[in-house]
Amino acid sequence: MIKGVLFDMDGVLLDSEEFITRAGMMMFREKGFTVKESDFKPFTGMGENRFLGGVAEKQGIPFDLEKDKARAYAIYEQITRGKLKPLKGVPEFIARCRKKNLKLAVATSADEVKMRINLRETGLQESLFDALVNGLQVEHKKPHPEIYLLAADKLHLRPEECLVVEDALSGMKAAKAAGCKCLAITSSFKAEEFDRADWVVNDMTSVPDECLNW
């Protein structure tokens, strides 16, 4: 029986990919290197360590993880101010979950600073969620299931009692490896790519009732 919903953040609650990609490009440009938007795509949903570090590794760019990531986040905070909003249907879906007395958690591969910027700028109050889990709290990133196992634990639930809402293939794999059911949102990948998801929808306005009734 479903008792909790674990939300990935980027591509699920909001779409920040454009902004974090632009911040990454600007950060690398400050270092004297030019990278393209497409360079970031393979690392979507894996957290900024990999999102930025993977591009640096692939392009042979010297990369100081903490310094360069902090600079990218500073740029990100500047360029997102007043520009982030929840994705279509998100507030209403959260309300549906709350009406059914489900416990809610954010489980994002992003660092805490980005998670809090995103929640603040979208107007999604932290108090809407019973637990917040960020990428700095886990050793293994998605597709490893650790983040969803931790989120379920923080809600005092078993993974098999939880629905994960994801937009990335690595997140789908993490959800299923954790033993959760998975609702996939096609904001980042095509529907046919979510071959292991239990449900696939375009956005949260079209989530079937059965997702919250099992």
Question: Would you give the distance in Å from CA 138 to the centre of its chain?
Answer: 14
Active-site residue, selected from the candidate residues 8, 39, 167, 198? 8
Same domain, 89 and 114: yes
Same domain, 128 and 207: yes
Same domain, 140 and 154: yes
- What SS3 class is residue 39? helix
Asked if 80 contacts 20 with a C-beta cutoff of 8 angstroms, the reply is no
Q: Which residues pair with 181 in a beta bridge?
A: 163
For the question of residue 8 being annotated catalytic, the response is yes
For the question of residue 64 being annotated catalytic, the response is no
Q: What is the mean pLDDT of the chain?
A: 96
Asked if 167 contacts 173 with a C-beta cutoff of 8 angstroms, the reply is no
Among 148, 74, 144, 85, smallest CA distance to 114 is for 74
Domain with residue 146: its CATH number is: 3.40.50.1000
Mean pLDDT, range 181-194, rounded to an integer: 95
Same domain, 62 and 111: no
Among 62, 80, 98, the domain-final residue is: 80
Among 61, 65, 77, 60, smallest CA distance to 23 is for 77
E runs forming strands in the chain: 4-7, 103-107, 131-133, 162-166, 181-185, 199-201
Same domain, 93 and 142: yes
- Tell the residue number behind the tokens 């998975």, with chain if given: 182
Among 80, 105, 120, the domain-final residue is: 80
Same domain, 163 and 95: yes
- What SS3 class is residue 67? helix
Same domain, 76 and 49: yes
Same domain, 205 and 103: yes
Among 80, 114, 133, the domain-final residue is: 80
Mean pLDDT, range 168-174, rounded to an integer: 94
- Judge whether residue 41 has pLDDT over 90: no
| Overall domain count for the chain | 2
Same domain, 128 and 192: yes
**Residues 98-114: b if buried by 16+ CB within 10 A, e if exposed:** eeeebbbbbbbbbbebb
pLDDT at 172: 97
pLDDT at 171: 94
pLDDT at 57: 97
Residue 154: CB atoms within 10 Å: 18
Asked if 13 contacts 115 with a C-beta cutoff of 8 angstroms, the reply is no
Same domain, 107 and 141: yes
Q: Which residues pair with 86 in a beta bridge?
A: 14
pLDDT level of residue 60 (50, 70, 90 thresholds)? very high
- Judge whether residue 17 has pLDDT over 90: no
Residue 86 carries which DSSP code? B
Please give the residue range of the domain that contains residue 67: 17-80
Same domain, 141 and 66: no
Q: What is the pTM assigned to this prediction? A: 0.90
Same domain, 75 and 101: no
